[in-house]
Amino acid sequence: MSTTPATPAPFRLTRRAMILGSLAAFATACGGATGAPATAPQASGAPEGQPKPGGNLTIRWWTGDPPDLDPYLNVTFRAQEFAGFFYSRLLKFDSGPGIAPNAFIPVPDLAESYEVAPDGLTYTFKLRANAKWQNKPPLDGRPVTADDVLYSFERFRKVSPQKSNFDMVKGVQAPDPRTVVFTLNNAFAPFETTIASPMFWIMPKEVIEADGDARKRVVGSGPFIFDRFEKGVQVVAKRNPDYYFAGTPYVDEVALLIVPEDATAVAGLRAKSIDITGLSQTDRAAVAASNPELQILDHPQNLLYFMYWRVDAPPFNDVRVRQAVSLALDRDEIVNVLFEGKALLNNALPGGLQSFYLDPRSAEMGPNARFFKRDVEGARKLLAEAGFAGGLKVPLISTLNAYGNTFNQSVELVIKQLKDAGIQADLRPQDYSAYIGSTFLGKFEPGTMVWGLETPFQEPHDYLYNMYHPKGVRNHAGVNDPQLAGMIEKQAATLDKAERKKQIDELQRYLGGQQYYVMGAVGNVTIATQPWVKGFNYQSDYGRGGEYVPKLWLDGKR
């Protein structure tokens, strides 16, 4: 076995070369996509002197309540973001000066180091000796042990909707209180990213056995201690003085505000009652002009605007109907209207995943690039060939109380564009809680279209497997394509990066023709911070409450 304190060499090169663009968490939490150049992400911030401990930090974090405080029981971003402040992962994603905001480099978190066997089948994690559960009953500050990791993994595999993400794991053992060993069925290139992704949290056995779940009491080993959840107002987190990264968090308290309207958030920013917020498309220029003291940062998003349906039933089991929908979309209009002309077109992978993204209109895309260019007459012809010469009328589900103004505008725009091609979409808005618990899981009537968001994964396999493999937990459309499933499984087992990139390019070309999902476009996200917020080096995954937030500090806040 080869010992390393972080990522083993062949995997480290893969991760560090993966300069990704992803700010979906702030995009969804703070008003959807925002207007800014869709350029390669840059490392945000720089060293700003010695951090000063203390003070209270206020962030506009969500547009609505977390529907559930137990991150194992659903896939909503609000539950996973909530968990990032209070629970630990074995690995997390690096952030700080010199780290691009979407680099997604796995680094130790609860594990202080790990080893990977030469054949890539065994991963051995050594837990930190100073890791403790927070000093709240019933755990009362006891050490975090390997048995806690085993218990958490067994529960994850039993109850989590995302359990298939760990299908590659053959078994997990705890040879001693500080050692956890994962054995895989086959070599799996994205395993470290999967472990670091914000879904496998180390959960408190005593709480769950007493209460049945983690919905009532929140006790973790992460950087912040849960104080309270005021529905419709905020979540308040206090500094964990026994956190294993000694000295952090720097701030004493974080208030995560729940502010549905962008205008309210902008007013709070200008009144200096909000320290950090995302800015919507329509607010960015005005805020930058009126408040030049603010730091305004723009980053590409790792996010899909996309149309889905059931492909195992008419009419969307006919590839011609799906292709017609894609030809009906005017992506250029979407870019210009929603993103001020600065956006990337999504392929099967979002434009933010720049190391693996294939521009859907490029020559490398081959003949299927035509399905990403508007062709109304071509759409009508395909519909006629599929038996819909008189057009197609279908219900369209979308949620309008979760993703912010820009997304809501996209719904209106898409409906108008479809109508031009003879597709009449009858909008049926759905409350977010109902949407995420039913429609998003593929539980909707066949023959229905859905316009939604897919947010955000840190590895191309997670998009491909989750959305297109029969076992994928986000296979909204019910895709069951044996050829495609084989292609997805093959790239996951390919450790050579260059060869894997070729396979993922071919997957994007293949999916461009099948149009199991029809993809839109995505712009950047804009984040505004007050001048007294220091150490801001953004990371975009849902676990950022344990990544960049503990490193923030305040200097000069009244």
Predicted pLDDT of residue 19: 23
Residue bearing the bigger pLDDT, 464 or 11 = 464
Percentage above 70 pLDDT, the chain: 91
Q: Spell out the residues 6+ positions from residue 261 whose beta carbon is closer than 8 angstroms to its own.
A: none
Residue pLDDT, tens place only, 392-437: 999 999 999 988 888 999 999 999 999 999 999 999 999 999 999 9
Bridge partners for 393 per DSSP: 424
Predicted pLDDT of residue 30: 33
8 Å CB contact between 42 and 99: no
**Whole-angstrom Cα distance, residue 138 to residue 135?**
9
- Model confidence band, residue 49 (pLDDT cutoffs 50, 70, 90): confident
Query: Considering the chain, what is the average pLDDT of its residues?
Result: 89
**Whole-angstrom Cα distance, residue 123 to residue 118?**
10
**Whole-angstrom Cα distance, residue 325 to residue 331?**
12
Prior bond of 177 cis (ω within 30°)? no
**CA dihedral over 480, 486, 492, 497, signed as positive or negative:** negative
Order the strands of the 169-176 sheet from edge to edge.
2-4, 111-116, 122-127, 179-184, 169-176
Paired sense of beta strands 169-176 and 179-184, if any: antiparallel
For 258, the token pair is: 């729940």
Amino acid at position 529, single letter: T
Predicted pLDDT of residue 37: 35
Q: Name the residue among 439, 465, 82 with its Cα closest to residue 236.
A: 82
Residue pLDDT, tens place only, 452-469: 999 888 899 999 999 999
Write down the number of H helices and E strands in the chain. Answer: 16, 23
Asked if the model's pLDDT at residue 449 lies above 80, the reply is: yes
Residue bearing the bigger pLDDT, 89 or 45 = 89
DSSP 8-class letter at 368: G
For 140, the token pair is: 């009362």
Asked if the model's pLDDT at residue 540 lies above 90, the reply is: no
Long-range contact list for 329-336, CB < 8 A, 24+ apart? 329/374, 329/414, 329/417, 329/418, 329/518, 329/520, 330/374, 330/417, 331/372, 331/373, 331/374, 331/520, 331/521, 332/374, 333/413, 333/417, 334/305, 334/410, 334/413, 334/414, 334/520, 334/521, 335/521, 335/523
Q: Which CATH architecture has domain 304-522?
A: Roll (3.10)
Residue pLDDT, tens place only, 179-222: 999 999 999 999 999 999 999 999 999 999 999 999 999 999 99
Amino acid at position 551, single letter: K
- Model confidence band, residue 525 (pLDDT cutoffs 50, 70, 90): confident
Q: Averaged over 1-5, what is the pLDDT?
A: 29
Determine the angle formed by the axes of helices 497-514 and 482-492, rounding to 10 degrees. 160
**Whole-angstrom Cα distance, residue 173 to residue 182?**
7
Predicted pLDDT of residue 242: 98
Percentage above 90 pLDDT, the chain: 76
Q: Spell out the residues 6+ positions from residue 153 whose beta carbon is closer than 8 angstroms to its own.
A: 166, 169, 172, 200
CATH topology of domain 2-279+524-554: D-Maltodextrin-Binding Protein; domain 2 (3.40.190)
Asked if the model's pLDDT at residue 16 lies above 50, the reply is: no
- Model confidence band, residue 8 (pLDDT cutoffs 50, 70, 90): very low
3-state secondary structure at position 379: helix
Read off the pTM.
0.77
Give per-residue burial for 486-495: e unless 16+ CB within 10 Å, then b.
ebbbebbebe
Asked if the model's pLDDT at residue 36 lies above 50, the reply is: no
Residue pLDDT, tens place only, 60-115: 999 889 988 999 998 888 999 999 999 999 999 999 988 877 788 999 999 999 99
Asked if the model's pLDDT at residue 22 lies above 80, the reply is: no
**Residue 362 phi, psi dihedral angles, 5° rounding:** -80, 165
Burial, 334: exposed, middle or buried (Cβ in 10 Å; 0-12, 13-18, 19+)? buried
**Whole-angstrom Cα distance, residue 460 to residue 416?**
31
8 Å CB contact between 242 and 141: yes
Q: Which of 241-250, 359-368, 453-462 has the lowest mean pLDDT?
A: 453-462
Prior bond of 315 cis (ω within 30°)? yes
Q: Averaged over 169-187, what is the pLDDT?
A: 97
Burial, 292: exposed, middle or buried (Cβ in 10 Å; 0-12, 13-18, 19+)? exposed
For the chain, how big is the Rg over CA atoms in Å? 23
Domain positions in the chain: 2-279+524-554, 304-522
Residue 387 CB neighbours (<10 A): 13
CA–chain centroid gap for 169, Å, is: 22
For 57, the token pair is: 């930090």
Predicted pLDDT of residue 47: 53
Asked if the model's pLDDT at residue 498 lies above 50, the reply is: yes
Asked if the model's pLDDT at residue 9 lies above 90, the reply is: no
8 Å CB contact between 446 and 469: no
**Whole-angstrom Cα distance, residue 553 to residue 558?**
13
Residue pLDDT, tens place only, 278-330: 987 678 889 999 999 999 988 878 889 999 999 999 999 999 999 999 999 99
Q: Which of 7-11, 116-120, 479-483 has the lowest mean pLDDT?
A: 7-11
Amino acid at position 235, single letter: V
